[in-house]
Amino acid sequence: MPVTLADVARAAGVSTATASVALNGKAGVSDEVRRRIREIAERMDYRPSSVGRALRRARTGMVGLYMPNTASTFGYYTETTRGVAEALHRHDLSLVILPSSHETGSTEGFPDVDGYILIEPHAHDRGVPAILHQALPVVSGDTPPRGAGSPWGLVESPNDASTRAVFDRFRARGARRPGLILIERISTWSLDLERSYRTWCGEQGLQPRVALTSARSSNSKLLSDLAEWFDPDGGTDAVLAGGDGIAVRIAGLLRSLGHVVGDSVLLASGVDSPLMEFHTPRITAVDLQPRHFGTVCADLLVELIGTERPAEPVRRLVSAPLIARESG
Amino acid sequence: MPVTLADVARAAGVSTATASVALNGKAGVSDEVRRRIREIAERMDYRPSSVGRALRRARTGMVGLYMPNTASTFGYYTETTRGVAEALHRHDLSLVILPSSHETGSTEGFPDVDGYILIEPHAHDRGVPAILHQALPVVSGDTPPRGAGSPWGLVESPNDASTRAVFDRFRARGARRPGLILIERISTWSLDLERSYRTWCGEQGLQPRVALTSARSSNSKLLSDLAEWFDPDGGTDAVLAGGDGIAVRIAGLLRSLGHVVGDSVLLASGVDSPLMEFHTPRITAVDLQPRHFGTVCADLLVELIGTERPAEPVRRLVSAPLIARESG
DNA sequence: ACCCGTAACCTAATCGATTAGGTTCGAGGA
DNA sequence: TCCTCGAACCTAATCGATTAGGTTACGGGT
């Protein structure tokens, strides 16, 4: 049985009102009494019930995090989640992980939260519009798909700049037929990459080379699919691999095709990870700074909770530096 | 302003008591009235407040997840988290991510939960004993470190069997000087691996070869540290790489030492990941089934919530099959 | 006609914290 | 002496859902 405010008040011989005021540092209690109540609360190891408080304040102190339910090769989501959780904790808020409502498109059974954070909202995920249509603050990391609704806050990465930085670098290192490999076209991020790349190709007078593959197709399948793409004569000679885990796969595949990564073919990853730094050779990558990204989302949401819904989403930008390494 | 039970009751012309009983399917209301109340609640889009309910029931409906705060290369934690969240959702519970209290060792500021799940409790993490000493149900995935306290439930992987399976396989494939590489000695899992390996060596009459490296040391550092270890004459000729992301690094390193992974040196990873399947060559690995592991932890905790603390931790075993691939 | 049991509702208390709105008491001013 | 004012407390309502414990009213039995 946890200690309640009433227990503390009784022990101190005051009313719960006085105890509450004393513990919350509000005016209306003598210093003497406040000191005594605090001491007693400390001794009794009193912890205010977040439930009682939530009921009275009409705030639960919880924020819901909604992320895609896809298999994750790397730690991107873990890092983002930790960034969010830590930032929220600094504001005395807690983070709840929402189950996917990809198919149902219903927020039934979701716990009561004060706001939502959407990470990488996918097209076709019916949970995304369901969340956006509630009358609660929502911060979205990445622009939600068209028609899903508009968030209160929007945290973005400069995908266009990052993509150009990669391909400009490929160009500077002598690539003549750079290409892009994606594993999905349902995240805004993937779509951004493709659009930026195609625009860049137009500006450079190059023919775009885009390959769409599956994150789950076998090595031999991938090899046969891409062998021609990477043909030594006239094939792709530099590639940005967008999406979770695909860059390392491509590196291995290129090796088995007889290429030397970072020399005969350049390679970069759209998502950095410790493995990019520690792979042999080290892989050039865009650092999306997931932990920091998470904290920015959380901090923005905290600002928006308790305010009116802004006419336009409040925007924040998180830089995504290109980490240049040997591979590309 | 969300719709409350009182709103529904008023609209239906009944008391909140009747409305509550009707909506919760308890006896004491006529079918006619129940139907009408349900219909009205539906039309008004009534959602019971989890806060009000929690206050009355003395249950928050939330479970706290505590995991190490280390950088994560792979998706292990993400998968575990999802497994937990999904399983809890099936029981109408929600998952809150707890901030690390590694240094403070205090649960202050933690939200009110009905129980805890500890994943990979590390030695030296002061948050672990702090959680275990609360009077709440705790399920631990992996045995907590000595002296940290005892959980109510314990979910284990057959680390000894998995480790032996790896080394038996190495042996069968002709390895004569198998070794073990770890990146930490603070998880029970790492310690299990080392112990099993040393015992196995004793049984086989082999000299143990254990290397401890850092997950963060540079490639060149790692290369110089391990060059001798992997010396073609008399060096390690098969290695189990325990820990997040290290197997892929070792594979690259072995290549740059002139080895052929899966031939001149065998390699296996203690943790499977999609990347192990898709690496070139494919890497033999122990599949810890993180998603399933998470659901087992969650289901066990649900069983324990509301019961008395058992005299001994309730144990569950989650199999960890060896996925044999080309590398080892 | 009268009593009893029970289905179907309702009233009010409860969970824990917060807060609007009193009440008390003593100091200071006229 | 009497009045005013404010500091320091207290009482009680409130948030939303649940539930123990009434209160009707009606049907069946004698």
A151 and A221 inside one domain: no
Give which of B213, B89, B70, B66 is closest to B142, Cα–Cα.
B66
- On whether residue A53 sits in a domain, the answer given is no
pLDDT tens, position by position, A302-312: 999 999 999 99
Range of the domain at B245: 159-286
CB pair distance less than 8 Å for B279 and A73: no
B253/A73 CB distance under 8 A: no
Based on the domain organization, do B171 and B247 belong to the same domain? yes
Helices (H) then strands (E): counts for chain A: 12, 12
Domain CATH number, residue A185: 3.40.50.2300
Residue B56 placed within a domain: no
Number of neighbours of residue A202 by Cβ within 10 angstroms: 11
Is A150 within 8 Å of chain B by CB? no
User: Does the residue B53 lie in any domain?
Assistant: no
Query: Do A182 and A273 lie in a common domain?
Result: yes
Q: Nearest 5°: CA angle at B299, between A88 and A89?
A: 10
Residue A173 and residue A88 in one domain: no
The tens-digit pLDDT sequence of chain B (328 residues) is 789 999 999 999 999 999 999 999 998 899 999 999 999 999 999 999 999 999 999 999 999 999 998 877 788 999 999 999 999 999 999 999 999 999 898 888 899 999 999 999 999 999 999 999 999 999 999 999 999 999 999 999 999 999 999 999 999 999 999 999 999 999 999 999 999 999 999 999 999 999 999 888 899 999 998 999 999 888 999 999 998 789 999 999 999 899 999 999 999 999 999 999 999 899 999 999 999 999 999 999 999 999 999 999 999 999 999 999 999 9
Tokens of residue B301, six digits? 């905790």
- Residue A92: what pLDDT? 94
In a domain, A264, yes or no: yes
Q: Distance (Å) from CA B51 to C1' D7?
A: 36
Could you tell me if residue B211 is inside a domain? yes
Find where tokens 């928050």 sit. B60
Q: What is the DSSP letter of A81?
A: H
Nearest CB neighbour to B71, from listed A85, A255, A274: A274
Q: Which residues of A touch B81 (CB under 8 A)?
A: 78, 81, 97
Q: Tell whether B195 is covered by a domain.
A: yes
Domain count, chain B: 3
Cα A60 to Cα A57: distance, rounded to the nearest angstrom: 8
In A, minimum Cα distance to B222 occurs at A278
Note the pLDDT of residue A263. Answer: 93
pLDDT at A72: 75
Let me know whether B148 and B209 are in one domain: no
Q: Which of residues 1-20 of A touch B (CB under 8 A)?
A: none
Closest Cα in chain B, distance from residue A208 (Å): 26
Q: Is residue A30's beta carbon less than 7 angstroms from any atom in nucleic acid strand C?
A: no
A112 and A75 housed in the same domain = yes
- Tell me whether residue A176 is in a domain: yes
Q: Decide if B61 and A111 are in contact by the 8 Å CB cutoff.
A: yes
Say yes or no: A18 and A107 in one domain.
no
Instruction: Please list, in sequence order, all residues whose beta carbon lies within 8 angstroms of the beta carbon of residue A21, skipping any fewer than 6 positions away.
Output: A27, A28, A29
Instruction: Estimate in Å the CA A19 to C1' D11 gap, whole number.
Output: 14
Residue B9 maps to which CATH number?
Answer: 1.10.260.40
CA dihedral (B228, B234, B238, B239) positive or negative: negative
Q: Which two tokens stand for residue A42?
A: 């400390």
- B187 in contact with chain A, both atoms CB, cutoff 8 A: no
Same domain, B89 and B43: no
* Whether residues B112 and B197 fall in one domain: no
pLDDT tens track for A180-208: 999 999 999 999 999 999 999 999 999 99
Same domain, residue pair A258 and A297: no
Distance from the B194 Cα atom to the nearest Cα atom in chain A, whole angstroms? 24
Q: Say what the pTM is.
A: 0.94
What is the bridge-based pairing of β-strands A266-269 and A238-241? parallel
Same domain (yes/no): B194, B308: no
- Domain membership flag for residue A30: yes
Contact B33, B14 (CB under 8 A): yes
Round and report the angstrom distance from CA (B296) to C1' (C15).
32
A129 and A216 share one domain? no
B258 vs A: CB within 8 A: no
